A and B are shown apart, each in its own frame.
Chain A
Amino acid sequence: MTNAAYRRSQLETLVEAQGGCRATPPLLLAAAPYFDLAGEEFGRRLLLTTDALGNEYCLRPDFTLPIAEDYIAEGTREPAAFSYLGPIFRQRENGPAEFDQAGIELLAQPDGDIALDQVLTFARAVLSLYGVTPNVRLGGVGLFEALLQQADMPDAWRSRIRHRFGHTAAMDRLLTRLEKSPEQPRSEQPSRDELIEDVTARMVSAGLSLSEGRTPAEIADRYLEQQALDAAHIPPATLKLLRDYLAIKGDALSALRQIEELGEKHKLFLGAPIRTIRRHLDGLGEARVSFDASFSPRLDYYTGIVFEMRGQGDTVLASGGQYDRLLERLGAKAPIAASGCALWVDRLEAEWPK
Chain B
Amino acid sequence: MTSITLAVPSKGRLEEMTRDWFAQRGLTITRPGGSRSYLGAIDGVPDVTVRFYPASEIARELMRGNIDLGVTGRDLIHETSESGPAAVDFAHDLGFGHADVVVAVPEAWIDVTHMHDLADVASDFRSRHGRWMRIATKYITITRQHFARAGIAEYRIVESLGATEAAPASGVADIVVDITSTGSTLAANGLRVLDDGVMLKSEANLIVSKVADWSQERRATLDALLARLGNRAWS
Contact = CB atoms under 8 A, between A and B. Distances in A.
A binds B: yes
Interface stretch (A13-21, A34-42, A61-69): A34-42
Q: How large is the interface on A (under 10, 10 to 19, 20 to 34, 35 or more residues)?
A: 35 or more
Interface string B10-38: 00000000000000000000000000000
Contact of B144 (A41, A160, A174, A195): A41
B109 A170 contact: no
Contacts of B157: 40
Given A39-B155, A219-B110, A298-B153, A93 B190 contact: no
Nearest to B111: A223
Interface stretch (B39-47, B113-121, B219-227): B113-121
A203 B151 contact: no
B113 to A, nearest CB: 9
Interface stretch (B71-79, B90-98, B167-175, B202-210): B167-175
A164 B117 CA distance: 13
A174 B123 CA distance: 15
Interface string A30-51: 0000011011110110000000
A32 B121 CA distance: 22
Nearest to B151: A170
A207 B117 contact: no
B123 A167 contact: no
A119 B201 CA distance: 48
B153 A39 contact: yes
Q: How large is the interface on B (under 10, 10 to 19, 20 to 34, 35 or more residues)?
A: 35 or more
B156 A222 contact: no
A325 to B, nearest CB: 12
A5 interface: no
B interface, over-half SS: mixed
A212 B169 CA distance: 11
A interface, over-half SS: helix
Interface of B: 82-83, 106-111, 116-117, 119-121, 123-125, 128-129, 132, 140-141, 143-144, 147-151, 153-157, 168-169, 171, 174, 189-191
Given A208-B106, A214-B125, A216-B108, 13 more contacts: A39-B132, A41-B148, A44-B144, A159-B124, A160-B120, A164-B119, A173-B116, A203-B108, A206-B168, A206-B191, A208-B190, A209-B171, A298-B153
Interface of A: 35-36, 38-41, 43-44, 93, 159-160, 163-164, 167, 169-171, 173-174, 177, 195, 198-199, 202-203, 205-209, 212-214, 216, 218-220, 222-223, 225-226, 298-299
